[in-house]
Amino acid sequence: MQVLDWFIVIVYFVLSAAIGLYYARRAGKDISEFFLSGRSLPWWLAGTSMVATTFAADTPLAVTELVALNGIAGNWLWWNFAFGSILTVFFFARLWRRAGILTDVEFVEVRYDGRAAAFLRGFRALYLGVFMNCIIMAWVNVAMGAILEGMFDIPHDKVILYVVLAMLITAGYSAASGMWGVAVTDAVQFVLAMTGTIVLAIFVLDLPAIGGIAGLQSQLPEWTFRFVPVIGDIGVSESVGGVLALSAGTFMAYVGLQWWSSWYPGAEPGGGGYIAQRMMSAKDEKHSLFATLWFTIAHYCIRPWPWILVGLSSLVLYPDLSTADKKLGYVYAMRDYLPSGLKGLLVAAFFAAYMSTIATQLNWGTSYIINDFYKRFIHPNAPEKKLVGVSRISTIVIMLLSVVVTQFIDTISGAWTFLIEASAGLGLVLILRWFWWRVNAWSEIAAMLTPIIVYTVLITFTSIVFPSTMFIIVGITTVVWVGVTYLTPPVSASTLDSFFRRVHPGGIGWRAVQARIPEIQGDEHYGVLAGSWLAGVIMVYAALFGIGSIIFGDYLRGAGYAVVVGVCAFWINAAMKRVGFAALAK
């Protein structure tokens, strides 16, 4: 790192702080401004903020590791979540915006009633806002620490000091500026992070040791460049050359089960967390839908390819890295081959990726603590100014707690599988609570607790491993929560009627409620929406593979994928007009 590099990094930090200070006064009006930007974000800003948040410091490293071990097809371990993301676009984005709530946890007492609903809201506020939030930020801190270690050879026991410094700056502008500052800073950080990763990919491919795309293809085996895994009655095997190989059952667990059945941060079935927060921050239902669609396209189709190219190049540049260190090939490529100026740009880009994630986690987690615990159970009549003040203090406290948690986490390996297994089956409740009146708070509580119990039994007394465990956990959890639903009293008619008046979801699951209030017309055209979901899924994967085909010189196939994207986009546009898409902006 030369003087120019440090200058670029310092300018980035100053710019981030300046944006936070600029929006500080606006954020101080009330907690709606602080947490939802006054529900006035345009679709492009809300969607960009979503994708910037999911672009954490660890994601390029994780993709590099997946590519190094299983080729491009290794990314199906997270590409499968696109099914659920597109479902959110067409079925849930409008409903979240229409609900008029501050957090997705508040939804619990809008949809359910009684002590069970109050308990569920308070528990989820603390469990997600503090416990899970601090663990997620700790993972990101560990990843950022690994980047700083690999880039600057900072001793492991000292790197936390630099991470804490970046976190303090992030917490400072988050506490000052609220959602407007977070969203605008996210947009700047996303542009910087994408620019940096694209520049790195271009520069590394141009190295004599790589020789461009053609040179890369000549130096790596053919299986490395396959876009889809090998599917059959097999497991991972040398006989298929190293490409990700999945049994038919395993593939079904990923593509047919995981995306809708499990809760996972940023990919919650039906939307949730900071994704729901952005949808509720949008100007109206139309902007909410477009924001989620833009997020899905950017997240799955555009963002991964620069990481994949550097990941493939690292196999050539660093062939002797151990399995555990494969992910660091990305960092070493930055350190060893970028000239002055570009190196500073990439360091700033990684700080941008890191800070965009931390800023959102802080604002989102604090929204639960304030709206769903402090205001709901401790100080219901607190004035808005006081709530904003407590929000700012809570932001700093959560930041400090996450630093403490970071000290106890050495690796994030396996954490995602634990989260998916320990929540398997919950996703169906999160989806059906919008479309079936009989779901109640006990349904959700049962669906939260059962998978944890079943998962513990499976890992203690059996040798069944992920993802085969998913079939068992989802099956048992579904039986339990459906049984609990019918064994417990339904939600009161007054609460159901109030929810239907507010959200009017429609469909067969609400006919009994709509019969009591015929003056409220529920949503229709669910068949058309289902067709749009299918077209959206095809469009996203066609765009993903089309961009990849063009990058690797298969222009004819890329053109074919482009035609598919165009046909799907035409279908979606026509379908949205049929369901009254223009009316969403009203």
Residue 486 scores a pLDDT above 90:
yes
In the chain, the percentage of residues whose pLDDT exceeds 90 is 32
122-131, 324-333, 401-410: segment of lowest average pLDDT: 401-410
Q: What is the pLDDT of residue 241?
A: 42
Q: What is the Cα gyration radius of the chain?
A: 24
pLDDT digits (tens, 9 = 90+) for 290-299: 999 999 999 9
Higher-confidence residue: 3 or 555? Answer: 555
Residue 250 scores a pLDDT above 90:
no
Higher-confidence residue: 90 or 274? Answer: 90
- The mean per-residue pLDDT over the stretch 68-92 comes to 88
Q: What is the pLDDT of residue 410?
A: 57
Give the closest residue to 434 by CA, choosing from 137, 211, 108.
Answer: 108
Residue 482 scores a pLDDT above 90:
yes
Residue 144 CB neighbour total at 10 angstroms: 27
In angstroms, the CA 86 to CA 269 distance is 10
Q: What is the DSSP string of 18-51?
A: HHHHHTHHHHTS-HHHHHHGGG-B-HHHHHHHHH
In angstroms, the CA 68 to CA 83 distance is 25
Using DSSP's 3-state secondary structure scheme, residue 243 falls into coil
Band (18; pLDDT cuts 50, 70, 90): confident
Q: What is the pLDDT of residue 236?
A: 41
- The mean per-residue pLDDT over the stretch 392-399 comes to 86
In angstroms, the CA 308 to CA 12 distance is 26
Band (238; pLDDT cuts 50, 70, 90): very low
Residue 317 CB neighbour total at 10 angstroms: 18
Please give the biggest Cα pair distance in the chain.
Answer: 73
- The mean per-residue pLDDT over the stretch 319-332 comes to 82
144-148, 305-309, 414-418: segment of lowest average pLDDT: 414-418
The pLDDT mean for the chain works out to 84
Residue 363 scores a pLDDT above 90:
no
Higher-confidence residue: 432 or 223? Answer: 432
Give, as one character, the DSSP assignment of residue 256. I
Band (308; pLDDT cuts 50, 70, 90): very high
The model's pTM is 0.86
413, 419, 425, 429 alpha-carbon torsion, rounded to 10°? -140
Higher-confidence residue: 161 or 246? Answer: 161
568, 569, 574, 576 alpha-carbon torsion, rounded to 10°? 110
Contact 165, 172 (CB under 8 A): no
- Amino acid present at 261: S
Give, as one character, the DSSP assignment of residue 245. E
In angstroms, the CA 519 to CA 513 distance is 11
Contacts of 408 (CB under 8 A, 6+ apart): 138
Q: Which position has the token pair 């009254």? A: 580
- For residue 282, the cross-strand partners are 41
- The mean per-residue pLDDT over the stretch 190-210 comes to 89
In angstroms, the CA 24 to CA 460 distance is 50
Structure tokens at 20: 């936070």
Residue 434 scores a pLDDT above 80:
yes
- Amino acid present at 225: F
Give, as one character, the DSSP assignment of residue 376. I
Band (162; pLDDT cuts 50, 70, 90): confident
- The mean per-residue pLDDT over the stretch 519-527 comes to 84
- For residue 246, the cross-strand partners are 231
Residue 235 scores a pLDDT above 60:
no
Q: What is the pLDDT of residue 27?
A: 62
Give, as one character, the DSSP assignment of residue 246. E
- The mean per-residue pLDDT over the stretch 477-493 comes to 95
Give the closest residue to 299 by CA, choosing from 530, 56, 87.
Answer: 56
- The mean per-residue pLDDT over the stretch 413-420 comes to 65
* H, E, C per residue of 567-581: HHHHHHHHHHHHCCH
Give the closest residue to 96 by CA, choosing from 374, 292, 358.
Answer: 292
154, 159, 161, 167 alpha-carbon torsion, rounded to 10°? 120
Long-range contacts of 112-119 (CB under 8 A, 24+ apart): 112/440, 112/441, 112/444, 112/491, 112/495, 113/441, 113/491, 113/492, 113/495, 114/441, 114/492, 116/440, 116/441, 116/442, 116/445, 116/488, 117/441, 118/376, 119/441, 119/445
In angstroms, the CA 580 to CA 577 distance is 5
Using DSSP's 3-state secondary structure scheme, residue 383 falls into coil
Q: 127 — alpha (psi -120 to 50), left (phi > 0) or beta?
A: alpha
- For residue 231, the cross-strand partners are 246
Q: Which position has the token pair 């660890």? A: 58
Q: Regarding the domain delimited by 1-6+42-220+285-413, which CATH topology (the fold level of the hierarchy) does it fall under?
A: Sodium/glucose cotransporter (1.20.1730)
The total number of residues written for the chain in this structure = 586
Band (584; pLDDT cuts 50, 70, 90): very low
In angstroms, the CA 118 to CA 140 distance is 32
In angstroms, the CA 149 to CA 50 distance is 28
Band (409; pLDDT cuts 50, 70, 90): low
Higher-confidence residue: 248 or 556? Answer: 556
**Domain ranges, ordered by start, for the chain:** 1-6+42-220+285-413
Using N-to-C axis directions, what is the helix angle for 159-205 and 3-22, rounded to 10°? 110
